[in-house]
Structure 1
Amino acid sequence: MKSVYQDSYQHLKPAIDNAVAHFNDIGKSLHDGRNVVKAIEVDGELLNFKKFRKPNAINKIVYKFFRKSKARRSFEYATILNKKGIGTPDPIAYIEEESTFNFGTSYYISKQLICDFTYRELINDDSIKDKEQILKEFTRFIYHMHEAGVYFLDNSPGNTLITKVGDHYKFALVDLNRMKFYDIPWDDRLKNFERLSPHKWMYEVMGHEYATLSRKRPEETIEQMWSCTQDFQKAFHRKKRMKKKFKSIFKGNK
């Protein structure tokens, strides 16, 4: 087992190592799919454990010798976000199971952040108030991220946690293993919004706010942002139809 901890959390290492050893039997399950996410109390602190599924035969070699694991990238990217003042749950550690020539399971551990809702709920829950204000403040958050040279590849509805603090809202990113760091051009910036909503009115709010912050024309910004979103939606549904078609063909050939 290889483990790397933030200096300020070194004192939790024995308890976290023990929690990983008994991962299947403890904690509260938050997500159980391709990866498993649990909230586990460790020495009086509630922590978030993300267990990444064991890679396939090729990726076992890739992650061992050529590429950083998803857990390590999550930890390192969260550390970068913290330094840049971009919200994300505090990174604590990453742990990797490996042998001389192989890579196994990996874990990313962070503080468990209790939020009021996610961006996905902002889309779907009509009981949430201040939606326009939230979208404007979220857009400022994304603008700050872009200005800091951070491009979040998984900028999708389930990956932004939202918490009301006083009269304003705070945002925190999760699922961090896919990011790029560079001087982000205008077209890439607007494309980074493409996965966030199927509703044009939300892009009218976000596009106008982003244009104001960037000193660009609001109408053109909204149009380009919405065009990126439509292209993404078309590609997404096309891929979904193809997968469904292949599944039916496969079943028919059995």
Structure 2
Amino acid sequence: MYKYLRKSKAKRSFEYANKLMACNILTPFPIAYVENTNVFGLKTSYYISKQVDYDFDFRELIHKPLFPNRKRILQQFTEFTFQLHENNINFLDHSPGNTLIVEKPDNRYDFYLIDLNRMRFETMDFNKRMHNFRRLWLSKTMIKIMSETYSKLYHKTSEETYALMLKHSRAFQKKINSKKLRRSGRKMRFKS
């Protein structure tokens, strides 16, 4: 299928990295992609990019509520995500492990996107923008900080931004938790 109907993940990653860089969005510098095919189609593909020496990834902010400068990092990450949205970039894998963070002088942070093969380049309305935060597994405290920052940039009230970000985030978390319960074979118990 990938050889004849759809671009390989490696080729998509390479092309998307170049599109991101054209929009001044950081990602490890794309070097090349390799596709190994035979008459039946794609066998393997590889995407090659420059190594980024990062300080931590977004997961640290979830698992360590007392992480140094956490609020400032979340605010700057929200500004970074806003820039994605303003450039009509819907990063479908906007999840905790796919953003590498580099600490800069003066409490500034650079954010690098990785695992790039799932993106859409489309206009993003308010609902789609808030939906894009859902995979980050945010706590209510994180949502409060991020929604306040995003609301100022997008000119919405912090209340409506918070409510919609929370709605999409909780719906995603509930879906994932339900899948885990089904896989484990346990039944959900509800209090009467």
If the length of structure 1 is used for normalisation, what is the TM-score?
Answer: 0.71
Deviations 1:171-229 (A, max 9, x none): 00000000000111110100101111241100000011000000101011101101111
- 2: CA distance between counterparts of 1:71 and 1:146? 23
Instruction: Supply the distance in 2 between the matched residues of 1:224 and 1:184 (Cα, whole angstroms).
Output: 14
Matching residue's letter, 1:177: N
Query: Are the counterparts in 1 of residues 58 and 96 from structure 2 also a CA contact under 8 Å?
Result: yes
- Give a deviation string over 1:129-187, Cα, whole Å, max 9, x none: 11100000000000011000000000000000011111201100000000000111110
Is 1:204 the counterpart of 2:144 in the alignment? yes
Distance in 1, matches of 2:63 and 2:40, equals 46
The answer for the alignment partner of 1:178 in structure 2 is 118
1:218 has 2:158 as partner: yes
User: Which runs of 5 or more residues in structure 1 are unaligned?
Assistant: 1-61, 247-254
With over 3 angstroms needed to count, the CA separation of the structure-2 counterparts of 1:215 and 1:188, relative to structure 1, is same
1:161 maps to 2:100: yes
Q: Which amino acid is 2:72 matched to?
A: Q
- Matched ranges for 1:21-170 at <5 A: 62-126=1-65, 128-167=67-106, 168-170=108-110
Q: Judging changes above 3 Å, is the alpha-carbon distance between structure 1 residues 209 and 198 closer, same or farther for their aligned structure 2 residues?
A: closer
Q: Within 2, Cα distance between the matches of 1:234 and 1:172?
A: 28
Matched, 1:194 2:134: yes
Greater strand percent: which structure? 1
Letter in 2 for 1:63: Y
Name the SS of the counterpart of 1:107 in structure 2: strand
Distance 1:214 1:131 in 2: 22
Higher relative contact order (CA 8 A, sep 6+): 2
What is the number of residues matched between the two proteins? 185
Range moving further from structure 2, 119-128 or 162-171: 119-128
Give the Cα–Cα distance (whole angstroms) in 2 for the partners of residues 123 and 226 of structure 1.
Answer: 15
Q: Where do 5+ consecutive residues of structure 2 fail to align?
A: 187-192
Q: Work out the CA distance in 1 between the residues paired with 2:155 and 2:41.
A: 51
How big is each residue's C-alpha offset from its partner over 1:79-135, in whole Å with a ceiling of 9 and x where there is no partner? 100010001000000001001232101100000001010000121135631110000
TM-score in terms of structure 2 length: 0.93
Structure 2 counterpart of 1:17: none
Distance in 1 separating the partners of 2:161 and 2:65? 27
